[in-house]
Structure 1
Amino acid sequence: MNIALLMGKSPQLQAVSELLACAGFRYNIFEAGRDLIHSVTQVPYDMLLIGDDLPDIPAIDVVRAVRGARSRDVPIMMLATDASEDRLVDALDAGADDYVCRPLSPRVLMARIAALRRRVTGERLRQGLVVRVGAYQLNGVGRFATLRDERIALTPKAFELAMLLFSNVGRVLPNSRIEQTVWRQELPPLSRALAGLISRLRKTLRLGIENGVTITVVYAHGYRLDVLDEDASPRLPAAGRKITVRRLMGR
């Protein structure tokens, strides 16, 4: 695993480089944000660790530039000193996958790195999938949906939500799991962001009885995608062949 560590002016991040070395990771250290941006266009890093005390440009701008250059290819974890909700939301909106506030114990940091690596690996495996449920189809490459061959554009968060729900037909998905998948963290208890996104997804995909697929709210638990046509089961094409997944209408 090859990691890029953008330390900037923070001497505390020197301990992170020592930790990466002890764990057996290959890594490159950068002090300036522009140097990292230039490097990611030439080196296929497996993960970026970005501090927020940089000498040249804001760390948020580094994240945006990397996402512009490499899209969703490389996972990004910010190692920040500002624990405010506004900075966290700004970082995630810019394209960061995780936001970790310092100081952080070595064990916790390594666990977060491993968790981010597992999550991104799972997303890459799903990117080539086409998930079919009833009259709907989700295209993991183009990241769009179709309803009876009508193409429907989805925002990145809406597509992540749709892919999670459509891949788990009949299963109750806890709010926490959905939030971790879509926002990379659990949202504040009073947040209406998830309910709002569910509502917009229903409207965009025209989910309802008329199209045979519904989203059910399971009070105090989460959400469940239901298929009303008993013959419609989700199918996941993989490696040139189709694998049929049985639909379990669990409650």
Structure 2
Amino acid sequence: MANARILVVDDEEDLCEILKFNLEIEGFDVDTANSAEEALKKDLSVYQLLMLDVMMGEISGFKMANIIRKDESKPKVPIIFLTAKDTENDRLTGFNLGADDYISKPFSIREVMARVKAVLRRTAVKDEEDKETISFEDLIIDIPKKKVSIGNEEITLTKKEFEILKLLLEHQGHVFSREEILSRVWSDEVYVLDRTIDVNITRLRKKIGKFGKNIVTRLGYGYCFETA
């Protein structure tokens, strides 16, 4: 969630700068635009969240959201509306346009930060649920079917081997300690030896053939799936 890229669109330059400053303190990458026209010229696919003021010039926040949602070529980026308009009809309009949240002005920065983090968490969970495959080159994990294949050949893995591979492939380049792997893969078992993980990793490396070398041991730290 940290390092998520956010676009703030508001014709009040001071407000844009205040939001940018505070969001960046929280670890987010933030760009600003002072009109919907300026925002629509940007590549919106690079953002994980749009924060749109409703009352802007020729193109309002509502109108911009409508343009984005109707254009199939535009990414379905989460939207939070920022507005002084706080009637029930306005809120309904916002949500009907696919808004993920609606924050009324004036607002506290603490409230905005909490709402932003909540929307990003929900989006991350939904993205994870929607994801059906994870892959690296021709190594493919079919999550719903619990199958692993290399090219057209299906690889037979045990449940634990599958879960380890899924964990490492989902977080390519991230080093997982044995304790982390235990807590995620063996969460339902009370007592498991570290050696059990090593044995499963060894078997997994053999089964995935040429990709076995991508599962790297970081001595003293743990395991990761390296792509280079």
Q: TM-score band (shorter)?
A: 0.5 to 0.7
Flag the 1:72–1:93 CA change in 2: closer, same or farther, 3 A.
Answer: farther
Letter in 2 for 1:59: G
Identity %: 21
Larger Rg, first or second structure (1 or 2):
2
Q: CA RMSD in A?
A: 2.5
Aligned twin of 2:146: 241
After TM superposition, the score normalised by the length of structure 1 is: 0.49
Aligned twin of 1:68: 70
Aligned twin of 2:49: 47
CA distance in 1, matches of 2:69, 2:5: 18
CA distance in 1, matches of 2:104, 2:118: 16
Give the 5 Å matches for 1:138-149: none
1:7–1:14 contact (8 Å) kept in structure 2: no
CA distance in 2, matches of 1:66, 1:20: 23
Aligned residues: 136
- Name the structure where strand makes up a greater proportion of residues: 1
Aligned twin of 1:117: 120
CA distance in 2, matches of 1:58, 1:50: 9
- Name the structure where helix makes up a greater proportion of residues: 2
Letter in 1 for 2:59: I
2:42 alignment partner, SS class: helix
Give the 5 Å matches for 1:152-171: none
After TM superposition, the score normalised by the length of structure 2 is: 0.53
CA distance in 1, matches of 2:116, 2:68: 19
1:48–1:77 contact (8 Å) kept in structure 2: yes
Runs of 4+ with >6 A deviation: none
Aligned twin of 1:15: 18
1:10–1:53 contact (8 Å) kept in structure 2: no
CA distance in 2, matches of 1:52, 1:83: 11
